[in-house]
Amino acid sequence: MNQENIFQYERGPINMKFKLFKNLVFTLILALSFSTLAFASTTGTPINKTVDNVKSSLTFMNEKLKPGSNEFTISILDKDGKPLPNSNLKVTAAMDKSTDMGSMTEDKPMMMDLKEGSKKGEYTGMMDFKSKGKWILKSTFDVQGQAKNVDFDVDVQSAGPNFLIIGGFSGVIILVIVIAAINKKKSIKS
């Protein structure tokens, strides 16, 4: 075995370890980058209301409502829990003026697009809360040709920092710095 081969022989396991380390780091970077997707789905507590024997229920996907898009499910059922025929459900949202501190929110109530949910009598939609504060969601529907409405009061809280995003970026940054430091040390040694 000549000197060059000995050198290659000695470097073999180190190279393998380094490759393994690189793969591990790469996987971690990917995992951290997409870590924010991991904790996506929790369901909030339903708000139930009954008006003229019609049971109405509003549930947001998140327990705590924050400014921005929030997915919700609304159901309109009769006293026996059956869906109302031809209910012509419409949902609008507006900020409760008594709590609006002069902020630039929409003056007109926002009409929401509804899609049929997984069960009959259930509808889903997206509510884009422009800012924190008290909001009123008005649902209007027809019962045997008569228009009815149910209002839901919801409290939109100020969103705190998204620690998953911050953590994801911090993790990537730390990894980049650590790899760079190791590489620098290696190049100085060699």
Partner 1 sequence: MADIKIPLKQDLSSSTAKKEKDLLKNKKFKKFIKSKKYPGVFQWPVALIFAFIVFELIAGPTDAHDNFGTAGTWVLWWPLLPILLLFFGRFWCIVCPFGLLNDVVQKFVGNKKPVPKFLKKYGIWIIDITFLMITWSDHVWGIVENPRGSGVLLLMITTAVIFSGALFERRTWCRYLCFLGGLSGNYSRAGMVKLRATPEICKKCTTASCYKGTNEVPGCPMFEFPKTMNSSAECNLCGNCVKNCPNDSITISTRIPTQELWNNKKPKIEVAFLAIVIMGIVFVQNITMLKVWDKILNSLENVLGTTNYYITFTVTFLIAMLIPVVLLLLTGLIAKKFNKASVKENFARFGYAVIPLDLAGHIAHNLFHLLAEGKSVGYTFMSLFGMNSHGASTAILPSPTIQMLQYIIIIIGTIGSIYTAYRIAKSSQTKEKLLGTSAVYAILMVLLAVANILLFSLPMAMRM
One DSSP character per residue, 128-190 reads EE-SSEEEEEEEEEEETTEEEEEEEEEEEPPP---HHHHHHHHHHHHHHHHHHHHHHHHHHH-
For residues 6 and 181, which CB has a smaller minimum distance to partner 1 in the complex? 181
For partner 1, which is the closer residue by CB, 57 or 135?
Answer: 135
Q: Give the phi and the psi of residue 157 in degrees, each rounded to 5.
A: -95, 155
For partner 1, the binding residue among 12, 68, 83, 85 (CB under 8 A) is: 68
| Dihedral (CA of 171, 173, 176, 177) sign | negative
Q: How far is the CB of 159 from partner 1 (least distance, A)?
A: 4
Quick one: which of 91, 132, 139, 141 contacts partner 1 (CB under 8 A)?
132
CB 158 to partner 1: min, Å? 6
Residue 101 lies near partner 1 (rule: CB under 8 A) = yes
Only one of the segments 40-48, 118-126, 147-155, 165-173 lies at the binding site for partner 1 (rule: CB under 8 A); that segment is: 165-173
Site string for partner 1, 23-62 (x = CB under 8 A): ----------------------------------------
CA distance 26 to 16: 15
First to last CA, the chain: 23
Instruction: State in angstroms the smallest separation of the CB of 48 from partner 1.
Output: 29
Closer CB to partner 1, 68 or 85, in the complex: 68
Q: Which amino acid is at 79?
A: K
Is residue 81 involved in binding partner 1 (CB under 8 A)? Answer: no
CA distance 114 to 7: 69
Residue 154 C-alpha from the chain's centroid:
18
